[in-house]
Amino acid sequence: MGVVNVTPDSFSDGGRYADTDSAVAHGLRLLADGADLLDVGGESTRPGATRPLVSEELDRVVPVITELAEAGARVSVDTMRSEVASAALEAGASVVNDVSGGLADPDILRVVADSEATYVAMHWRAHADHMADFATYDGPGGVVGTVRDELAERAWAALSAGIAAERLVLDPGLGFAKRGDHNWELLAHLDALAGLGHPLLVGASRKSFLGRLLADEAGEPRPVDEREAAVVAISTVLAEVGVWGVRVHDVRSTRDAFRVVAALHAARQTTPRIGAR
């Protein structure tokens, strides 16, 4: 899943693709680099971000989705709003990627249920401007058990609204109301979330916990645009465990890593085991 941020304030590339022409051109580059899905978003969810008006979000994403869909791309809309989801589906999107899992706007579940779109429900507790206040997981099972249970509730809500089980994908929500150690624990125990019975989407690309991991000797986090090797490493591991998708900013490097993984798997299947007769 290649990221197309049509925003002025996203943490990774805010402002670079804030107009329709540059966003479409960026999406087409990601498509050429091997993206299976383009995730178009008009609202930044970086920590502390404020929300745009509904009209602003619509103006940002609908023209971009229309052009990318007409160009043959499979498109996802990254939104928490039912109005935006509805307009995006009409414009040609086939996936609704809702970081709130239906909590920010429950009507989004009905919109998706009335369509044939895939729905991605992410683990979420609060909007970006105060989500850090909710990064506490002291109950039984810690962050893994709590995220599993809260995602199970969102899955139940989606299914109850009429979204077919085969069209439901879950996302652990790395960085959303979570500290760095929470993110690592979730990545290490994705099997617990996969046990809910739905495919997983994981978005670790360029996030701050990677910047802190790669900090210099003075403790200064690695800059956002210099974290790609770490993103590729995580994506490679995720490909091995079989997640449904990875949400990345640099599609080409991740696609290259996937080709390496695929080549190794093919070699294992065709090369005789040493000592075998």
Q: Exactly one of 60, 167, 207, 255 is catalytic; which is it? A: 207
Phi, psi of 122 (to 5 degrees): -95, 155
Strand, helix or coil for residue 25: helix
Q: What Cα–Cα distance (Å) separates residue 142 from each residue in 106, 183, 238?
A: 27, 12, 22
Residues 6 or more apart in contact with residue 151 via CB below 8 angstroms = 101, 121, 123, 170, 172, 193, 196
Annotation says 178 is catalytic: no
251: which strand partners?
none
In this structure, how many other beta carbons lie within 10 angstroms of the beta carbon of residue 130?
A: 12
**Nearest of 101, 113, 204 to residue 147 by alpha carbon:** 101
* Integer Cα distance of 240 and 63 in angstroms: 36
Active site amino acids: 207, 247
